[in-house]
Amino acid sequence: MRADRTRRRLLAAAAALLVVPHVAPSRAQAWPSRQIRVVCPFPPGGLTDLYARSIGDHLQQSLGQTVLIENRPGAGGLIGNEFVAKAAPDGHTLLVTIQTTLVQAQVLYKKLPYNAENDFTWISALGAGHLPFAVPASLPVRTFREFVDYAKSNPTSFGTYAAGSYPHMVAGQVNKLHGTKIEAVHYKGEAPMWIDLAGGQIQGAIGSVAALLPHVQKGSVRVVAVPTAVRSSKLPDVPTFIEQGFTEPVFGLRGWIGLLGPAKLPREIIERLSKLVIEAGEGARLKQVYDTFGIAERPTTPEEFLRLYRTEGQQWIAIARELGITLD
C-alpha cells in the first residue's frame, strides 16, 4: 500500500513538471490579446496613412484581432510619435511614420519628446518612392534650372508636406547655393498643397506621385524634376535633379516610411511583426500602393531598417545641419 502511494506521488510530481512551462506564457506568446492600435501622425490620404491601413488590414486578417488605424496629426508628426514612444511595449501600439520625424527632427528641434534610436523598436522600413518637383502650368518654367532663375528675380514660395521634410531641405539648399529667397510653406498633408500649386498660390512643390498625378492629368501642374539617381517609372520622361546638373547630396537621397513600436518590444513580437509586414509586401493591397506611387523598394527586416537609419539617416542629419534648418 505504501509503495502504491509513493508511486502515485512520483507520477503526480512528474505530471506537474510536464505542465509547468504552460502555466505562465510569455507576453509574446499571448500576443495579441486585444485590439492593436496603429498610429499614423499625419492626416488620412497620404502615403503614410495608406501604408498604415494596408499593414493594419494584413495584421487583422493574419492575427484575428481588430486593428485600429488612429491618425494623430500635429507638430510635424511629433505628437503621434511621442504617444507611441510612451506606450507599453506589449505589441498593441505601433507607429507608421516618415523619416523626418525620426531623423531630421533631431536637428530641427532643440529638444524632442523622445530619443529616436532609444525610445523605439525598429521593425521595418518601407519605400517612399520618388517625390517629384512640380510647378503651376501657368508658370513659364520647364526645367529646375529655369525655376531657380525665376526665383532669383521673383517672389517665390515652395510647398512642403511637413516642416523639416525633404522639400524643405531642397528649398534651403537652393537658397544657399543660388542666393534665392524661396519661402517654404508647410502644409498639413499633400492635398491642400497641390490644390494651392494648381491655383498658382505657390510656385513650386514636392510630394508623392499618386497625390500629384490627378493634377498633372488635368493639365494644371507641370513636373520638372525627380530626386535620386534614377527616373521614376511613373514619370519616365521627367529628368532627375542630377541629370539637370544639381548634384549636391540632398538631390540624390531617398526617403522612407517606417513601422516602429515602443522600445523593449519582446523579440518574439518583433520577429512576428517583421514576418507579417514582409508578407503584406507581397499582398495585393500593398502591391497596388507600390504601383500607384512607383515604389520599387520592399519592406525590410528590423536589422536592415536600423542599418538604414544609422547610415543614410546620418547623411540626412548632416545636410540638415549644414543648411541650418531649425524650427525652434
- Over residues 280-292, the pLDDT tens digits come to 999 999 999 998 8
Taking residue 196's Cβ as centre, other Cβ atoms within 10 Å add up to 17
Higher pLDDT, 163 or 127: 127
Give the mean pLDDT of 27-45. Answer: 86
DSSP strand pairing (256-262 vs 93-98)? antiparallel
Most trustworthy range by pLDDT among 40-44, 74-78, 151-155 = 151-155
pLDDT bin (cut points 50, 70, 90) of residue 9 is low
pLDDT attached to residue 263? 98
Which top CATH class is 34-128+255-323? Answer: alpha beta
Would the pLDDT of 13 be above 50?
no
Would the pLDDT of 20 be above 80?
no
Q: Where are the domains of the chain?
A: 34-128+255-323, 133-251
What's the gap between Cα 161 and its chain centre?
A: 12
DSSP strand pairing (67-71 vs 120-127)? unpaired
Domain boundaries 133-251, corresponding CATH code: 3.40.190.10
Would the pLDDT of 27 be above 60?
no
Would the pLDDT of 312 be above 90?
no
- Over residues 105-157, the pLDDT tens digits come to 999 898 999 999 999 999 999 998 889 999 999 999 999 999 999 999 999 99
ω into 266 cis (within 30 of 0): no
pLDDT bin (cut points 50, 70, 90) of residue 162 is confident
Partnered with residue 260 across adjacent β-strands are: 95, 122
- Give yes or no for a contact between 31 and 91, defined as CB atoms under 8 angstroms apart: yes
Nearest to 50 by CA among 290, 278, 235: 290
In the three-class reduction of DSSP (H, G, I as helix; E, B as strand; rest coil), residue 66 is classed as coil
Cell numbers found for residue 181: 529667397
Spatial separation of the C-alpha atoms in residues 96 and 289, rounded to whole Å: 15
Nearest to 209 by CA among 47, 54, 51, 49: 47
